Structure formats: structure tokens, C-alpha cells
């Protein structure tokens, strides 16, 4: 579980991202963080162990407005729940990534990076992906190409979102094993693990399929399927309200909780299951 929110807009999105994290708190997490690209192209981040509320206080003390950003709640699998290991992870103060899930072959990727002289700041599986993407954008690839190339080298389960401060019009997202949804605005677009995170800004969503990669800009979005082919996914208008703790078809909340247990367990394990087994690192 845990959560991802991303945005590319004209207005400042820091508070939108933070509100998104608050709305994902139900998913459980041990730390939270946010990275923003400001209007002069500077990339900054704040991370905190514990609640989104302490991230929010830190952001109040050190405001980071900007039209491009990512935010994350982490449930640690690789490396203790510390600030150093909290997301977003950076590569070369240029690329930022947030990730839910587990990269199963991270140890061999990490060894290759260390052999190439890359300095790693964290113990996470996620940081290696930031460096793979950085080396591709550094060689001149678009962020989309760089992410697609990096994904080919990954085994495991993930939802992820990536920004590059030198390509400040783009957020790239990908899903395999964890959910990811696009939120459609006017001249602005969003990504999140759950549509509920984005209800304050839109009710129009596109749900990504397994293996999809998406390139979001202010003007629109392009989706590519697992084979790299352009894909069309339907736009869905949500009927959920902004304060969507609804009883739905149940008579009362306890009945709803009882009937939602299978779904709650499935949601908890998503991102912790590879093709053949539950990933032990998830526990
Ligand atoms: N495996 C990553 C980590 O340990 C992501 C965990 C998550 O799903 O939040 O940092």
C-alpha cells in the first residue's frame, strides 16, 4: 500500500500534493516526503519520519511552491524508516522519483551502479531506479524514454512517478502490481495511487492498466502499454464526493467494514506480490 501523488500544472501544487497525501493516509505508512521544482528550475525536497502532519509543518516552515512536484507516503521494505530512506529519491539533484512496491533485482542493479562509481544516499531499492533514469536523461533521452528504458531492467512490483528538473513540463508514471490513476484537470494533470487523493481538484480520471507507462504534461497525456505501443484508456467521471466516506450499499459502517475485508487485505498486499509469490521483504 502507501501512496503516490504527482502534479504538473501552472499554479503551485505543493498544497494539492500534501492534501493528496492526507487522503492516502488510510493506506498506512511510516514516513512521508515531497519534492518540488520551482519556477526557476530548482529541485527541493522535504522528508519526515512519521505523520503527514509533521511533513506539513515542515513545509509551512520552509515553503516550496512550484508548478511541478511529487509526494509519497512510504511503507519501508528496503532500509529502515528513516529520513534518509524516505522518498522522493534524487539522482544528481536532477531526477526525483517516488515508488510504491519492491524492485526484486535491486541488489544486482545496486552493485552495477556502485561499480560505475555512483554514490548511493539510501538503502532503498528505489534509489537505484533514480540513477538508471538519470544516466539516460543525462545522455539526452526524454524522460519518457529514460523511464521506459529503466523499466526494462526492473523485476518486481511498482507504481512510480518521476520528474526531471531539466524537463519541467513532464511527469512520467508507470504501474506494474500497484495501482496508479491519472487525474485530468484544465491545463493541469495529476497522478495518484487512488482517485480519492485527487477529488479536491478533479472528478475525471483515467485508470492505468498493468504495464502502462504514462507521460503527463500540462496539455495532456500519452499512455503506452506493456509492449510500448500507444494505448487509449477511457476517461471515467467519478461519482465520489470530496468527503467520500460513504456507506454505499451498506446499512451501516460496521457492515461495510466487514464486507470490505477481502478488498482491504488485497489492497494491503498489492505491491507486495510478484508474479508467483508474496514478496517477503514486504513483511
Ligand atoms: N521499496 C521501497 C522502499 O522501501 C518503497 C516502499 C513503499 O512501497 O512505500 O523504500
**Cβ proximity of 200 and 158 under 8 Å:** no
What pLDDT does 240 receive? 75
**Cβ proximity of 75 and 85 under 8 Å:** no
pLDDT at 241 > cutoff 90 = no
What pLDDT does 282 receive? 66
Q: Work out the pLDDT band at 242, boundaries 50, 70, 90.
A: low
pLDDT at 244 > cutoff 80 = no
HSE (side-chain half, CA atoms, 13 Å) at 197: 31
Place of cell 512490483: 157
CA distance 120 to 142: 23
What pLDDT does 72 receive? 98
Q: Residue 49 C-alpha to ligand 1 middle, in angstroms?
A: 13
Residues 6+ apart with CB under 8 A from 193: 2, 3, 4, 5, 24, 27, 100, 159, 178, 179, 180, 181
Specify burial of residue 280 (Cβ count, 10 A radius: 0-12, 13-18, 19+): exposed
Pocket test for ligand 1, best of 3, 86, 100, 280 (most atoms within 8 A of CB): 100
Mean pLDDT confidence for 171-189: 96
Q: Work out the pLDDT band at 265, boundaries 50, 70, 90.
A: confident
CB atoms within 10 A of CB 256: 15
CA 30 to chain CA centroid, nearest Å: 15
Pocket test for ligand 1, best of 5, 73, 75, 89 (most atoms within 8 A of CB): 75
Q: Work out the pLDDT band at 269, boundaries 50, 70, 90.
A: confident
HSE (side-chain half, CA atoms, 13 Å) at 267: 14
What pLDDT does 277 receive? 75
Model-level pTM greater than 0.95?
A: no
CA distance 61 to 57: 6
Kindly state if the Cβ of 193 falls inside 6 Å of ligand 1: no
Q: Residue 249 C-alpha to ligand 1 middle, in angstroms?
A: 34
Mean pLDDT of the chain: 93
- Ligand 1, atom 5: nearest CA belongs to which residue? 100
Reported as a single tens digit per residue, the pLDDT across 53-77 is: 999 999 999 999 999 999 999 999 9
CA distance 188 to 180: 17
pLDDT at 11 > cutoff 90 = yes
Beta strands in the chain, from DSSP E residues, in sequence order = 3-8, 31-37, 43-49, 68-74, 89-91, 95-103, 156-164, 171-176, 181-184, 189-192, 204-207, 213-216, 221-224, 230-231, 235-237
CA distance 36 to 122: 20
Kindly state if the Cβ of 100 falls inside 6 Å of ligand 1: yes
Kindly state if the Cβ of 88 falls inside 6 Å of ligand 1: no
Span of 194-198, 203-207, 237-241, 266-270 with lowest mean pLDDT: 266-270
What pLDDT does 243 receive? 61
Q: Work out the pLDDT band at 217, boundaries 50, 70, 90.
A: very high
**Cβ proximity of 186 and 201 under 8 Å:** no
Q: In the chain, what are the helix, strand and coil shares in percent, each to the nearest 5?
A: 30, 30, 45
CA distance 8 to 186: 11
Kindly state if the Cβ of 176 falls inside 6 Å of ligand 1: no
Specify burial of residue 263 (Cβ count, 10 A radius: 0-12, 13-18, 19+): exposed
Kindly state if the Cβ of 168 falls inside 6 Å of ligand 1: no
Look at residues 172, 156, 171, 238 and name the one whose alpha carbon lies nearest to residue 202. 238
- Please confirm whether the linkage preceding 54 is cis (ω < 30° from 0): no
SS3 6: strand
Amino acid at each position: 500500500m502507501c501512496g503516490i501523488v504527482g502534479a504538473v500544472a501552472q499554479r503551485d501544487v505543493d498544497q494539492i500534493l500534501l492534501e493528496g497525501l492526507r487522503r492516502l493516509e488510510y493506506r498506512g505508512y511510516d514516513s512521508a516526503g515531497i519534492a518540488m521544482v520551482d519556477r526557476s528550475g530548482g529541485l527541493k525536497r522535504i522528508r519526515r519520519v512519521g505523520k503527514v502532519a509533521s511533513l506539513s509543518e515542515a513545509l509551512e516552515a520552509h515553503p516550496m511552491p512550484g508548478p511541478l512536484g511529487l509526494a509519497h507516503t512510504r511503507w519501508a521494505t528496503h532500509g529502515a524508516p528513516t529520513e534518509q530512506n524516505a522518498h522522493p529519491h534524487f539522482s544528481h539533484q536532477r531526477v526525483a522519483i517516488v515508488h510504491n512496491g519492491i524492485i526484486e533485482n535491486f541488489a544486482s542493479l545496486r552493485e552495477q551502479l556502485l561499480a560505475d562509481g555512483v554514490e548511493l544516499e539510501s538503502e532503498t531499492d528505489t534509489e537505484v531506479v533514480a540513477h538508471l533514469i538519470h544516466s539516460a536523461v543525462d545522455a539526452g533521452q526524454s524522460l519518457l524514454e529514460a523511464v521506459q528504458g529503466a523499466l526494462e531492467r526492473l523485476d518486481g512490483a511498482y507504481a512510480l512517478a518521476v520528474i526531471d528538473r531539466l524537463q519541467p513540463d513532464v511527469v512520467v508514471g508507470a504501474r506494474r502490481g500497484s495501482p496508479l490513476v491519472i487525474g485530468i484537470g484544465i491545463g493541469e494533470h495529476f497522478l495518484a495511487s487512488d482517485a480519492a487523493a485527487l477529488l479536491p481538484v478533479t472528478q475525471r480520471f483515467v485508470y492505468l492498466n498493468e504495464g502502462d507507462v504514462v507521460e503527463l504534461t500540462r496539455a495532456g497525456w500519452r499512455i503506452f502499454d506493456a509492449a510500448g505501443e500507444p494505448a487509449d484508456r477511457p476517461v471515467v467521471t467519478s461519482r465520489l464526493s470530496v468527503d467520500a466516506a460513504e456507506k454505499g450499499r451498506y446499512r451501516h459502517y460496521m457492515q461495510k467494514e466487514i464486507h470490505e475485508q477481502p478488498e482491504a487485505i488485497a489492497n494491503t498486499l498489492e505491491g507486495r506480490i510478484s508474479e508467483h509469490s508474496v514478496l517477503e521483504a514486504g513483511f
